[in-house]
Each structure stands twice: as structure tokens, then as C-alpha cells.
Amino acid sequence: MALRPAKCYRKHEKPYTRQSKKKPRKSYVKGVPEKKIHRFETGNKKRKFNMSAYLVVESDVQIRHNALEAARVSASKHLNSLGADAYLLKVLVYPHHVIRENALATGAGADRFQTGMRKAFGKPMSTAAQVSKGQRIIEIRIDSNRKNSAKRALKLASAKIPSTCRAVFSEVA
């Protein structure tokens, strides 16, 4: 089954949590799916850099785990041309939020076994990070003479995020 588009999940809202008094075990999300993103830091972790670049989100949004991984890969692929020791890239958000989907049957005879919106808690499909406006998602530490490379890497990463983003630079003391 193919992934649904990001527009189905990017709305940032408090999740519905079913609370059953008769059967409390029905109130829990069972089986959180595996996350695609496993590495949150790449590059040289020991070296000191004199500049930090951040990717900042401009609206409240949910970012799925596969979008975070795609952003990390595209940024690190561009930065690898500088050399593995020339940068440090960090993904600053973690996909805690479980996305559920109430799959509806289609085709002939679907109405005979479909329950519709009755007990529509949904099955866990994916995970996402809930990000607020102005929150930093990705950090790149780099030397100040390589500012253009960091800017390009953040531009490539922002194309994978389902919201408009901007790059913010700061000098590290």
C-alpha cells in the first residue's frame, strides 16, 4: 500500500484519545510502527565549529518520520562533498506522535462488512513530530567560510518538509 500524501497528516492538532471505562485496554494505541529515521547526528561530533545554521519552520505542522529522514539524507549528501569531518548535522525533533488511519473498504460488497465510523479509533500507520511555529528542526554546525554550503544544504532539506522553512545563522562563541 502506498503512502498517503503529507497533506493528509500535516495538520497540527491534539490527537483524539479513546477512553473506554468498560474496557480500559481499548484506550491504548497498540504496536507503534518502526521509525525510518534512526540516525539523528551525522558528521564530526568532536570538533568545535564557529557557526551554526538552523532550519526553522514557519507554521505549526506535523512532520512524518520519512520526511525527516529524507531531509536529513538530502542535507548530509550535499555536505559530504565538503568531507566527513567538515560539518555536524543534527535532527532536533523526534517523531513521538502516532498517526492512526481508519481504513475504509472499497469495491463490491464492502458495505456488508464495513463498520464505517463506529469504533473508528484507527490502526497505527506511521509516526510524526509535532512542530510549532518558529521551532528549529535541523542544525548544521560548520566553519564560517562554508556558510554557502550550509545554506544550500538547508534549502535542499526544506524541500522535503511539508511547510515553508527558513535558514537562520548564528555565530558560536
Distance (Å, whole) CA 63 – CA 165: 12
The CA–CA distances, whole Å, from 14 to 54, 67, 73, 136, 169 equal 26, 20, 29, 20, 32
- Phi, psi torsion values for 129, nearest 5 degrees: -100, 125
Q: Dump strand ranges (E) for 1-151.
A: 41-43, 51-57, 61-64, 87-91, 97-101, 123-131, 136-142
Is CATH 3.90.226.10 the right assignment for the domain spanning 32-101+117-171?
A: no
H helices of the chain, in order, are 65-79, 110-113, 147-158
Distance (Å, whole) CA 122 – CA 94: 22
**47-83 per-position pLDDT tens digit:** 999 999 999 999 999 999 999 999 999 999 999 998 8
Name which of 88, 84, 83, 91 is nearest 63 in CA terms. 91
* Mean pLDDT value of segment 131-136: 94
Query: Would you say residue 108 has pLDDT above 80?
Result: no
Query: Would you say residue 105 has pLDDT above 70?
Result: no
**13-35 per-position pLDDT tens digit:** 776 666 777 877 777 777 778 88
Q: Identify the residue with better confidence: 162 or 10.
A: 162
- Model's pTM, two decimal places? 0.83
The CA–CA distances, whole Å, from 52 to 27, 35, 55, 66, 151 equal 43, 27, 10, 25, 11
